[in-house]
Chains A and B, each alone.
Chain A
Amino acid sequence: MRGADLARIRAVAAADLRARLRRPGAVALMAGAALAAVLLIPDPGTGRGLMQIDGARALYTSPTLALATSTLWGLALSLFGFYVVSHALRRDGRARLGTVLAATPVSNLEYLSGKLLGSVGLLGAVSCGFLLASMAMQAVRGEGPLEPGTFVVHFAVLAGPGLVWVSMLALVFECVTWLSGRLGDVAYLFVWASSMPLALFGWQPGGPKLARVFDVMGFGFMVSQVERVAGTGNFSIGFGPIESTRPPIVFPGLSFPLEALFARAASLLAPLLLFPLALLLFRRFDPARNRSTPGGRLRVPAVVTRIAGALTRPLLGPLQRLAPDVALTFRARPLLALAVPVIAILSVSLPPLSVRAGLLPVVFALLSIALADVATREAASGTAAIVFSTPRRREGFAAWKLRGATGVALLLAGAPALRLLAAEPGAGVSAAIGLLLLAFSAVALGLATGTPKTFMAGSLALWYLGLNARDAPALDYGGWWATATPAVQAAWLVAAAAAAALALGAHRLRLAREG
C-alpha cells in the first residue's frame, strides 16, 4: 500500500477515535468498565468469589483473575461492543460531513479501513481500562503476586478476536441497507447468540476444527483449556456465592499450545474476510443512493406503506389529537402501527400459554425497536428547539416522553398483558411491570446518554437473558415463564420507578446546565 494510503487510513482512524473518545458516553463507558472490574472481583471474606473448580474456590492469583476477567470481558465485549461501535458511518452522515469526505481523494478502502481501526481502537481503549482496573483489583484483593504479563496475554488471546469481530460486523451491518438500522441491532443479538454453541462445538473432542474460527468470544477455547488444565469440566466463572466448604485451591493458569494459538489467530483474522463485502456495499454518502432508504432504514415498499397507512388511519387519527408523541412513533414506522391490531387479535385468539410464552417475547422485542429513539429523536432530527418552544414542553419534556413511551408500550403490549391478567394474573402483573420497565428505561437511557443505542443494547441483552430464564425467576421480568415471585415483581417495579426518576433527573440536570 502506498504511503499516502496509510496516512489517510491513520487520519480517518485518529479523527474517528478522537471524536468518539471525547464524547461523555466514552467517559461513562470507561468508568463503567472500571466499576465492572471492581464489582466482578468481590472480597472472598464476604462469602463471594469469582471462580470455583470442582466445588473449591480458586485463589485470587494472577492466572485465575486474568482468566476469569478476560473471559467475562470477552463475553460482554462480543455483545455490547457491537452497540458501542455501530453506526460509525452514519455518524459522519449525521454530522453532515459525508459528502465532503466523499469528494476527497480518500478511497473507500482507506475510509472503511480507518473506520474499522477507529472502532478497534475505541474497544481496545475501553478493554485497556478494564484490564488495568482488573490488575488494580488484583493488587487490592489478590492472594498472589501481580503478573501483568499474564493479564495481557489472557486478554489478547481470549478477548482480542472478539474486538475485531464486533468492529468488523458493525461495519458490514452498516453497509447492508436493511441491517443498518434497528433491525440490524436485533439481528446482531441472534448472530451473537448463535455463535456461542458453534464455538463450544468446535472445541469439543472430535468437533470440527473449522468451527473454532467462530469462537470470537474465546468461550469454547477457555472451556477446553480449563478442562485440560484442571482435569474437570465442573467449574464456574463469574461473581457469585462460594458454595463449597472445601479449602481454596491454586489454579495454575492456562497454557497456550501452538495449535490453540493458531486457532485464536484465525479467529482474529477471519472477520477481515467480511471486509470486501463492506467495500462492495458501501454507498460513499451518495445522496441519490441513500434517497431510497432515508436514515439507512429498511426500505418498505411504497405500496405496503400506503396500505399500512390506510389501515391504521382510524387508529392514528384520534391518537394524533390525544397523544401526538405516541402517534409520531407509529407514523414513523407504519408497519409497527399495523402490528398493533395484529397483536390485539392474536392476544384474544391464542391460548393463554401461547400468548405468554410465544407472543409476549416477540412483542417485547418489538418494543425494544419501537421505544429506542423515543427520547432522542428530537435531538437527532434537530427539532428539539421547536418542541421546547411549545407550552410547558421544555420543563415537562421528560414527563411527556415517559407518558409517550408508556402509551407506545401499552398500544403494543397492552392487549397481551390484559389477556394474561385475566387468565394468569401473576404473569399478567409481570408483563405489565415489564412493559413499564421498558418504557421508562428507554426514556431514561435516551435522556441520560443521548443515544438510542444504550437502551437498544440493554433491552436486547435483558430480552435474551429473559428468554433463557426458565429456571431463573429473578430474570422473568416480562412474565414469559410465569415464575416471578411477588418479591421479584416488586424488584422490577422498583427498577422501573428508578428508571423514571433517572429520566426526570437527567432532564432536570440538562435544564440546569443550559440555565
Chain B
Amino acid sequence: MLEVEAVAKAYKGGKYGVRDLSFAAAPGVLGLLGPNGAGKTTLMQMIATVTRPSAGRIRFDGADVVAGREAVRARLGYLPQDFGVYDNLSAFEMLDYIARLKGVRSRRRVEQVLELVNLHTVARRRLGGFSGGMRQRLGIAQALVGDPDLLIVDEPTAGLDPEERVRFRNLLSSISGRKLVILSTHIVSDVESIAGEIAVVREGRLLAFGTPEQLLQQAQGTAWEAVLPSSEFERIRAGLRVSNVTRRPDGVHLRLVAPERPVPSACPVEPDLEDAYLALMQREPAGAAA
C-alpha cells in the first residue's frame, strides 16, 4: 500500500512542483494522468526516493520513503522519463550492471528480463546502435530486473511502436497482481485498459482520484456529439473543447466535452475516459487560488 499524505515539493523562489497532494493506492496499476508540467514526474521522483518532499509524507508498506529509503529502494523499480545508457556497453552488460546494484547476482535473471522485453537476440550488441524504442525497452528491463514490489514508470511508452505499446501494457498488467505499478502518462489510452485506479493531476495538485468507473461517473453529462457544416465548425472551434473530429460528406462529426450543451445540435453521449479527463482539465484544481 502506498500512502501519499499532504505532499509538497517547493523550489527556490516559491514555486511548487507538487502541492498538498494526498492519496492511497493498493496493489494494481495506478495510472497517473496529467498534462505536461502537471507535476507527475516530480511526484514519481519523490516516491522513487530520487528527491525529497518539502512537506508531507510518503510511505510504502509502512516504510517512509525519506527515513526508510534504503528499504524502499530495495523493493523499487524505476524508469524515468528520460532514461539513458552508456553507449559503449552491450545491453547485457548494462542490465547486469543495474542488476548488481540492486543486489541481483543471477545472470540467468538478466537474460530472462532481456527475453521479456524482446532484446535477448541483441543482448551482446553495443547500445550506441540501439533505436529509441530498443533503449526504452532496456529501460523497462532495468526497472523489472530486481523483481520490484513497487514499479514506477514515467511516460514508458514514448518511443515505442504500436505493437510494443500493446505488448508493454500487457506486461504491466500481468505483473501487477500483488505489486503496485505507477504508470505516468498524458496519453489516456495507455492507462484506459489496465489501470485499476487513476489519479489526475494538474499544476501540482490532485484533480481526481478513483477507479475508471468513478471518473466516468463524475463525467456523466459532459460528453456530446454533434455534426456541423465545415464552415460553421471553423468559425466556432476556438470556443469548443473537442475530444474527437471526423470529417464526413455530411459535415464534421464532433465529440465535445462541456458541462452544458455546447452547440444547439449536440446530443448527450456516454463519456469515455478521454472525455472524463478533458472534463477534469476544465475544472479549477481545489485550492488553486490559495
A103–B78 CB distance below 8 A: yes
**Cα A286 to Cα B97 with chains together (Å):** 21
CB distance from A101 to the nearest CB of B (A): 7
**Cα A106 to Cα B84 with chains together (Å):** 18
At the interface, yes or no: A385 with Cβ under 8 Å from chain B? no
**Cα A291 to Cα B42 with chains together (Å):** 12
Stretch at the interface among B19-27, B86-94, B110-118: B86-94
At the interface, yes or no: B142 with Cβ under 8 Å from chain A? yes
CB distance from B67 to the nearest CB of A (A): 15
Stretch at the interface among A12-20, A71-79, A129-137, A355-363: A12-20
A23–B88 CB distance below 8 A: yes
Stretch at the interface among A42-50, A59-67, A91-99: A91-99
**Cα A102 to Cα B47 with chains together (Å):** 12
Known A105-B101, A292-B12; contact A15-B93, beta-carbon cutoff 8 A? yes
**Is chain A's binding surface mostly helix, strand, loop or mixed?**
helix
Selected contact of A288 from candidates B11, B83, B86, CB within 8 Å: B11
A8–B100 CB distance below 8 A: yes
B93–A286 CB distance below 8 A: no
A99–B101 CB distance below 8 A: no
CB distance from B73 to the nearest CB of A (A): 4
At the interface, yes or no: A282 with Cβ under 8 Å from chain B? no
Using a CB-CB cutoff of 8 Å, which residues 80-109 of chain A contact chain B?
Answer: 94-97, 99-107
A96–B11 CB distance below 8 A: no
B78–A11 CB distance below 8 A: no
Write the chain B residue with the least CB distance to A11. Answer: B100
At the interface, yes or no: A509 with Cβ under 8 Å from chain B? no
Write the chain A residue with the least CB distance to B105. Answer: A7
Write the chain B residue with the least CB distance to A22. Answer: B88
Write the chain B residue with the least CB distance to A114. Answer: B101
A18–B93 CB distance below 8 A: yes
B82–A103 CB distance below 8 A: no
Selected contact of B89 from candidates A18, A99, A100, A288, CB within 8 Å: A18
**Cα A105 to Cα B79 with chains together (Å):** 15
**Cα A10 to Cα B88 with chains together (Å):** 19
Write the chain A residue with the least CB distance to B17. Answer: A288
B-side contacts of A14, CB under 8 Å? 97
A96–B103 CB distance below 8 A: no
CB distance from B96 to the nearest CB of A (A): 8
A-side contacts of B94, CB under 8 Å? 15
CB distance from A6 to the nearest CB of B (A): 11
Known A8-B100, A287-B45, A288-B51; contact A97-B85, beta-carbon cutoff 8 A? yes
Using a CB-CB cutoff of 8 Å, which residues 277-293 of chain A contact chain B?
Answer: 284-289, 291-292
Selected contact of B103 from candidates A10, A95, A105, CB within 8 Å: A105
Residues 192-224 of chain A, each 1 if its beta carbon lies under 8 Å from chain B, else 0: 000000000000000000000000000000000
B-side contacts of A104, CB under 8 Å? 73, 98, 101-102, 146
At the interface, yes or no: B80 with Cβ under 8 Å from chain A? yes
**Cα A14 to Cα B98 with chains together (Å):** 12
B80–A100 CB distance below 8 A: yes
**Cα A94 to Cα B12 with chains together (Å):** 23
Residues 50-72 of chain B, each 1 if its beta carbon lies under 8 Å from chain A, else 0: 11100000000000000000100
At the interface, yes or no: A4 with Cβ under 8 Å from chain B? yes
B50–A285 CB distance below 8 A: yes
Residues 281-318 of chain A, each 1 if its beta carbon lies under 8 Å from chain B, else 0: 00011111101100000000000000000000000000
Residues of A bordering B, CB below 8 Å: 4, 7-8, 10-12, 14-15, 18-19, 22-23, 94-97, 99-107, 284-289, 291-292
Top 5 closest pairs, chain A to chain B, by CB: A96-B84, A11-B100, A103-B78, A22-B88, A19-B86
18 contacts between A and B (CB under 8 A): A4-B103, A7-B100, A7-B103, A12-B101, A94-B84, A95-B85, A95-B86, A96-B80, A96-B84, A99-B80, A100-B79, A101-B101, A102-B50, A103-B48, A103-B50, A104-B73, A104-B146, A105-B102
